Structure 1
Amino acid sequence: MSYKSVMVHVDPGSNAASRVKLAGGLADRFGAELIGIAAWRANLVGFTEYESLDQRWVEQESELASDKLMEAERAFREASGARNAAQWRSARGLPTPFLLEQARAADLIVVGRQGDADGRDERFDIHIDDALMDLGRPILIAPPGLEELYAERIIVAWKNTREARRAVWDSLPLLQRAEEVIVTTIGKDAAHQGADDVAGYLKRHDVPATTKLSASDDPDVTQEIFALSKRRHADLIVAGGYGHSRVREWVFGGVTRDLLRKTPVCCLMTH
């Protein structure tokens, strides 16, 4: 099993170059094609009767959209370098639906966990919540400014659920190249979550897996995961993504929400 196509979300913000370099490094490691993708939400989106708009304003927005997408493509080309196996896809429209549509071409999708001072254009932004729940592909969330993922030491945040089982399978190409993989379960029922079975499964796939169980009743599971990754010098967390729809808004469990918004290292998640 391998990744043959790595897709990366691009915007002209200050962290775009590092994200593209990280995705490009992964593509090189697996001999995969690198696909850059961007959509820019012009203010025309949502209007169906263009005749009610000032034509000059429509033309200005259309021209601005073209300029913005060209700027994003330049950022992608400059950061990806002289790769033959690289392609660019862009559109005027809503960024998240465009990403969901194009995900059919990717084995792995890299997005950025936005920092507080990125200086980005919000009209390029995707809704990571929607992406996680609807992509049907593993999503790799990269912290701001990170240019390379070594994935030599990996933490698997295990819970005996469909989402976690899927995340382990989707991350197998990275797990097989790791030097150390720690399957951790946290909580009062840690001993009953089957972490040993998961480690055994991974070993049969040539993954150097061990287990780390914590029966802690500390409610802040995410901080325990972060602390473990720091102690073991892991730069990748693998976890299932949990949530349900409340009409228009995704309602996430605390760990999923914190991983999406606070992870200090890369996090590969699957719903």
Structure 2
Amino acid sequence: MSLKNILVHLDSGPLCADRLSLAIALAEQHGARLIGLFGQLAQAQMIGMVASWPSPAYVEAAEQSRQKFEAACSGHLRSYSWRDANRGSALEVSRALIEAAHHVDLVLLSQDDEAAAQVVPRDLPEQVVLNAGRPGLIIPYAYKNTSLGQRPLIAWNGSRESVRAVNDALPLMQGCSSARILCFAKPSPELEQSVGDLCAHLADHGVTAEPDYIQAEGIGIMDMLLNQAADLSADLLVMGASGNTGFANFKRHGGTRHILRHMTVPVLMSH
């Protein structure tokens, strides 16, 4: 399996260059077409009592984004294109990314960061993942690598969301040295059967995986998941994103948001 097209969010923030570098590396690895969508918070220009859009500042920022994108892609990719959301409100920027994501295999976004808060809508990764119907690869703000998926950690409970996440992540896990499946439940015949079937499914795709069973509740699940990712030196966390993040007794969106706030490795989320 391989990715055929990838969408990367572009803006004027400090995280954009690293996000774009990873997107280019993935597109080059998979021979995929890369679409860069520029979208950021911006105000219209006020001329007296009349609002004029786009403002000169926005036009300049968009043009700089286009030039940087094309310069970065040139020499690495055969197929790439730059687009402008041409809107400045948080709702409009989020909607532009969600709509563009409908027609790609993967969307790259960055973790929320205070340094980029003036140009990036708050909770943008969460909004895109929960509403686009496509997998999102969210990059931690301190992540500098241009490779991932060699040591994936899979959060599994057999839910629709976790099933989608695993299958959406298969192109990123190809050729990995080993994968770890983490189940936050006491082993039972039903769960062990589910995990066994998952291991066989992954093996059919060339991915060797081993399961671990850990008992935890509430927010402890999310913290333990992050701790396990760190302890195992995982370079990719694969998990479902849903109303309760696939885990019982957890408030709506709380688990997804907690991971997005505290993640230290790239996270592949599907809803």
Superposed pair shares fold, TM > 0.5: yes
* 1:201 Cα deviation from its structure 2 partner: 1.7
CA spacing shift, 1:234–1:170, aligned 2, 3 Å? same
Partner of 1:104: 102
- Whether 2:55 is the aligned partner of 1:62: answer yes
Number of paired residues? Answer: 257
- Whether 2:32 is the aligned partner of 1:32: answer yes
Partner of 1:129: 126
CA spacing shift, 1:179–1:37, aligned 2, 3 Å? same
CA spacing shift, 1:159–1:253, aligned 2, 3 Å? farther
| Structure 1: runs of 5 or more not aligned | 46-52, 245-250
Deviates more, 1:121-130 or 1:141-150: 121-130
* 1:216 Cα deviation from its structure 2 partner: 4.0
CA separation in 2, counterparts of 1:230 and 1:124?
A: 28
Does the 8 Å contact 2:101/2:107 carry over to 1?
yes
* 1:5 Cα deviation from its structure 2 partner: 0.8
CA separation in 2, counterparts of 1:122 and 1:190?
A: 48
Q: TM-score, normalised by structure 2?
A: 0.84
Task: Describe the SS at the equivalent of 2:206.
Answer: coil
- For residues 125-179 of structure 1, give each alpha carbon's deviation from its aligned partner in whole angstroms, at most 9, with x where no partner exists: 6722221111111100001142323311000011111011111111111222211
- Whether 2:83 is the aligned partner of 1:85: answer no
RMSD between superposed Cα atoms in Å: 2.6
CA spacing shift, 1:37–1:155, aligned 2, 3 Å? same
Q: TM-score, normalised by structure 1?
A: 0.84
CA separation in 2, counterparts of 1:191 and 1:236?
A: 28
Partner of 1:76: 69
Residue type of the partner of 2:58?
Answer: A
* 1:18 Cα deviation from its structure 2 partner: 0.3
Residue type of the partner of 2:63?
Answer: M
Partner of 1:266: 266
* 1:60 Cα deviation from its structure 2 partner: 7.0
* 1:242 Cα deviation from its structure 2 partner: 1.2
Does the 8 Å contact 1:189/1:215 carry over to 2?
no
Deviates more, 1:184-193 or 1:159-168: 184-193
CA spacing shift, 1:167–1:135, aligned 2, 3 Å? same
* 1:73 Cα deviation from its structure 2 partner: 2.1
Deviates more, 1:64-73 or 1:95-104: 64-73
- Whether 2:228 is the aligned partner of 1:228: answer yes
Task: Describe the SS at the equivalent of 1:64.
Answer: helix
- For residues 2-34 of structure 1, give each alpha carbon's deviation from its aligned partner in whole angstroms, at most 9, with x where no partner exists: 101111001111111000001111111111111
CA separation in 2, counterparts of 1:133 and 1:188?
A: 29
Q: 2:171 aligns with which of 159, 173, 178?
A: 173
Does the 8 Å contact 1:11/1:124 carry over to 2?
no
